[in-house]
Copies of this chain bind each other. A is one copy, B any other.
Amino acid sequence: MIIVLKPEVTDSQLKHLVSKIKSLGLKPMISKGIERTIIGVIGEEDILRSTPLDVFPGVEKVMSILAPYKLVSREFKHENSVVHIGKVKLGGKKIVMMAGPCSIESREMLISIARSVKRAGASVLRGGAFKPRTSPYSFQGLGEEGLKYLKEAGQKTGLPVITEIMDIRDIPLVEKYADILQIGARNMQNFNLLKEVGMSKKPVLLKRGISSTIVELLMSAEYILSNGNFNVILCERGIRTFEDQTRFTLDLSAVPVLKKLTHLPVVIDPSHAVGKWGYVPSMAKAAIASGCDGLIVEVHPKPEEAFSDGAQSLVPDNFEKMMRELKAVSKAVGRDI
């Protein structure tokens, strides 16, 4: 950590600060420059991070040198992590396609979608049983009934299933039915929920909050790993900006940035990001070209009758067509799908 002092800092302020640093068991190194004096502090940066040195009189600013995350970092583990979901491996050469409806609406519908996405090449079935909805008056999901349909559809097709968990109290229930626990964007900083899924043995897909930085996403993943669960998949699903032609702005640069900073696999959700099905295939292709490890997309046989997010769902025919295009792009970047 580097502490930059104000030009008008007094000797007694400098002494006060230095003695504080020493009292924390750290070693201060002072360099007097032409315009500023700076103190480099050697030792555990975490001790400093929790000490608000910037309020000391005479301090202009405090700058961190080390990243605040550890277990998720490339420094901690150099090679890419591969998350195993039954027989599916996420994080290897093969790009994993997760597809299905936003909400689970009925048993028949779900089984039918599962069959068509499987046929087109998906390896994981998605479907929401508990839905976070902005309005209390919107459809909130089928709950356990939905989970049962999801498990059944998964078994009938041989696809592992992923579903969102919103509430700590539902963990045992969701664990019983799902192969991957999804933490939605709104819960990315629901730290107690993160701790609890950190104690689960199921893989966790963690979505980036709509206004969370990449570092905050990594810090939230750190909550899960530090509780013992290393099977974490990161998911970029669009951030909030001023642009209103799309529902959110898909931040695809997050892919190479995450690949540099962390060993965890990265999945892209183009459907929620753009919010209109017509833009999904372009962004799915771009995501693969950028280097992601998987995609999660919404497919619905009759989007005009969907209980939620119909506008962003592909019909099965379009999904199949998109899968053919994704195959070509995957191959071009040295991947399979």
What is the 8 Å Cβ interface bit string for chain A, positions 277-300, against chain B (1 contact, 0 not)? 111001101111111000000000
Say whether A303 contacts B55, CB under 8 Å. yes
Q: Is A109 an interface residue (CB 8 A)?
A: no
CA distance in complex: A20, B303 (Å): 14
Beta-carbon contacts of A168-201 to B below 8 Å, as 1s and 0s?
Answer: 1100000000000000001101111001000000
Chain B nearest CB, measured from A287 CB (Å): 7
CB interface residues, A 123-171, toward B, < 8 Å: 132-139, 166-169
Specify the chain B residue showing the minimal Cβ separation from A246.
B253
State the Cβ distance, A76 to closest chain B Cβ, in Å.
11
Scan residues 47-89 of chain A and give those whose CB is less than 8 A from a CB of chain B.
49-56, 63, 65-66, 68-69, 75
- Tell me how many residues of A have a C-beta within 8 Å of chain B: 112
Flag whether A239 is at the interface (Cβ < 8 A): yes
Asked if A211 is at the interface of the complex by the 8 Å CB criterion, the answer is yes
Complex interface: chain B residues within 8 A of A63 (CB): 2, 63
Chain A 215-242 interface 0/1 with B at a Cβ cutoff of 8 Å (1 = within): 1100110110011000000000001111
**Which of A's residues lie within 8 Å of B, judged by CB?**
2, 4, 7, 20, 29, 31, 33-36, 38, 40, 42-43, 45-46, 49-56, 63, 65-66, 68-69, 75, 132-139, 166-169, 186-187, 189-192, 195, 209-211, 213-216, 219-220, 222-223, 226-227, 239-246, 249-257, 259-261, 273-274, 277-279, 282-283, 285-291, 303-311, 313, 325, 328-329, 331-333
14 sample A-B contacts, Cβ–Cβ < 8 Å, listed by A number: A20-B304, A31-B42, A38-B65, A52-B310, A52-B311, A55-B304, A135-B219, A136-B219, A166-B192, A187-B190, A190-B190, A246-B253, A249-B249, A257-B279
